[in-house]
Structure formats: structure tokens, C-alpha cells
Amino acid sequence: MLLEIKNLSVQASGKTILKDINLSMEKEQVLILFGPNGSGKSTLIKTIMGFSGYEISQGEIFVNGEKINDLPIEERVKLGLGIMYQHPPAIRGVKLASLASFLCKNENVINELSSKLSLENHLKRDVNLSFSGGEMKRSELFQLILQGSDFLLLDEPESGVDIENISIMGKALNSYLEQKGKSALIITHTGYILDYIKAKSGCVMMDGRFWCVGEPKEMFESIKKSGYQTCKECQCPQKK
Ligand SMILES: Nc1ncnc2c1ncn2[C@@H]1O[C@H](COP(=O)(O)OP(=O)(O)OP(=O)(O)O)[C@@H](O)[C@H]1O
Ligand SMILES: [Mg+2]
């Protein structure tokens, strides 16, 4: 099992945000996470990554069978975890090209990927500094793929990205996942990424709990049609 979360509850600033979460993911699987604003999706990803400020009050997280509750972020990165932020930070004084060379020693791979993601002209700029919203998202994906992460945690990868660039990012992401046998947990509001990624399972998070599981495209169509209210009222057998 790639990821196993057992009875996880998480607090931030003394407030309980995640409540008794259970989740399992196999290797080479893509899981789509839906849920209204403020339901706890980003908190889940940040807790898996080990960000400070998110305190596990109950439960356990395992990656490849190893309990990671108390591991620092760098150890989690060594286990293959990688995050694409909802709001990526800028790194003043560090060129994107320098970071790329640090993450990947093969210059051909860097050049090929930067051209695929239309980032050739950004390599000589400071990482994410004054990048447009869409450029920042492409830069995040660029870094993550160069890093070679086995398990990608993607927080709204298509937010603020135009249709054409969603297609570019979606294809780059899909070929990375498929060709290298990688896994991903992807948060999406717009559902656009579902057109490019083969994801078998999806789940809805509401008020810090997992609510429903199902086929991601079907779930998204239902959310689009009736909003999250139907999820609340849902009595489907998959209700958690
Ligand atoms: N460090 C923190 N301190 C206090 N409250 C927090 C903290 N982090 C998150 N929260 C609160 O926890 C709730 C869940 O936040 P989270 O960012 O996980 O939501 P989300 O599902 O990712 O929402 P969105 O779709 O808007 O990105 C929100 O009410 C948020 O204000
Ligand atoms: Mg969020």
C-alpha cells in the first residue's frame, strides 16, 4: 500500500479541521479529492507532507508501510512525496534554472520539459517571482517532475490556468504518471484535469470528513449539476 491513513484527526490553531479520516491508496493510483471551500482538502495534503502548524491529535499516516507521523518534511521527500502548492511561494535570489539543475542532473531532460511547459524564458528568472498565476502552476509542475517524486500531492493544479495551458500541463502530468508508474492525489474544483488523467477513484470531503467515494467523472458531473448539497443528502452505498 502506498498510502494508509487511519483514524486521522488534525488540529490547527487549536481548531479541529480533519475528523477521523481513513484512506488507502495503492501504488500507481490516482485519487481525486473534491469538496467545498474550507472543507479541509489542503489541510490533508499539508498534513501528509508534514507542514508545521498541523497537529495530529489522533491517528496514523503510513507511506509504503512506514509510519510518518513524526518524520520531518525532508525525510518525507526522500520517501518520494512531493507537493504542488495551491498558492506557490516565490524564492527571491534563486533562478529557476539553478533549482532545475539541483533537482535534475540531465540537461536534456530540463530543456525538453521546460519547452514542453513553455517555461524556456522563465529559467533565468527567480523562482515564481512575479510569475503570472498560470506560469507559477507550470513552474510548480516542472519542479515536481524534475524532482522525480513518486507520490504527487497536487493542490488545484489547474486553478488560474487557461484552457490551452491546462492541456499542456495535463498531458505532461499524465505522461509522467503513466510512463514512470507514479501516483497522485489531486484536488480539483473545476474538474478540467479529469480530461487528461486516468483516475479510477474520487472522494468528497466535507467539514473535515470523507463523505462519499466513487468514479471521479461521475462524481464531478453530479457535483456540477446539484452542488455539494446532494452529497450531504446522499444515501448511496458508498457513503462513508
Ligand atoms: N493554520 C490554520 N489555522 C487556523 N485555521 C486553519 C489553518 N489552516 C486551515 N485552517 C482552516 O481550516 C479549514 C480548512 O482549510 P483548508 O485550507 O484545508 O480548506 P480547503 O478544503 O483546501 O479549501 P479551498 O477549497 O478553499 O482551498 C478552513 O476553515 C481554514 O480557515
Ligand atoms: Mg485548499
Ligand lying closest to the C-alpha of residue 207: 1
Phi/psi at 160 (5° precision): 80, 10
In-domain check, residue 94 = yes
Angle, CA of 80, 114 and 108, to the nearest 5°: 80
In-domain check, residue 144 = yes
Averaged over successive runs of 10 residues, the pLDDT of the chain (240 residues) comes to 96 96 95 96 97 97 97 96 91 97 96 96 96 94 96 94 94 95 96 94 94 91 86 63
In-domain check, residue 101 = yes
Q: How far is the CA of 108 from the centre of ligand 2 (A)?
A: 34
Look at the chain and report how many structural domains it folds into.
1
Ligand lying closest to the C-alpha of residue 37: 1
How far from each other are the two terminal CA atoms of the chain, in whole angstroms? 20
Domain that holds residue 94: 3-233
Q: Tell whether ligand 1 has an atom less than 6 A from the beta carbon of residue 13.
A: yes
Q: Is residue 37 exposed (0-12), middle (13-18) or buried (19+ Cβ within 10 Å)?
A: exposed
In-domain check, residue 239 = no
Q: How far is the CA of 211 from the centre of ligand 1 (A)?
A: 17
In-domain check, residue 160 = yes
Q: Tell whether ligand 1 has an atom less than 6 A from the beta carbon of residue 53.
A: yes
- Ligand 1 pocket: which of 10, 19, 21, 42 to mutate (most atoms <8 Å of CB)? 42
> Which residue's CA is the nearest one to ligand 1's atom 27?
37
**pLDDT score, position 29:** 95
- Return the CATH number at 47: 3.40.50.300
Q: How far is the CA of 122 from the centre of ligand 2 (A)?
A: 26
Q: How far is the CA of 17 from the centre of ligand 2 (A)?
A: 12
In-domain check, residue 111 = yes
Residues near ion ligand 2 (Cβ under 5 Å):
42, 86
In-domain check, residue 240 = no
Q: Supply the pTM of this predicted model.
A: 0.94
Phi/psi at 111 (5° precision): -65, -40
Q: How far is the CA of 93 from the centre of ligand 1 (A)?
A: 30
Ligand lying closest to the C-alpha of residue 16: 1
Measured CA to CA, the distance from residue 63 to residue 61 in angstroms comes to: 7
In-domain check, residue 98 = yes
**pLDDT score, position 239:** 59
Q: Residue holding cell 532545475? A: 100
Question: DSSP letter string over the chain?
Answer: --EEEEEEEEEETTEEEEEEEEEEE-TT-EEEEE--TTSSHHHHHHHHHT-TT-EEEEEEEEETTEE-TT--HHHHHHTTEEEE-SSPPPEEEEEHHHHHHHH-S-HHHHHHHHHHTT-GGGTTSEETTT--HHHHHHHHHHHHHHHT-SEEEEESTTTT--HHHHHHHHHHHHHHHHHHT-EEEEE-SS-GGGGTS---EEEEEETTEEEEEE-HHHHHHHHHHHTTHHHHH---TT--
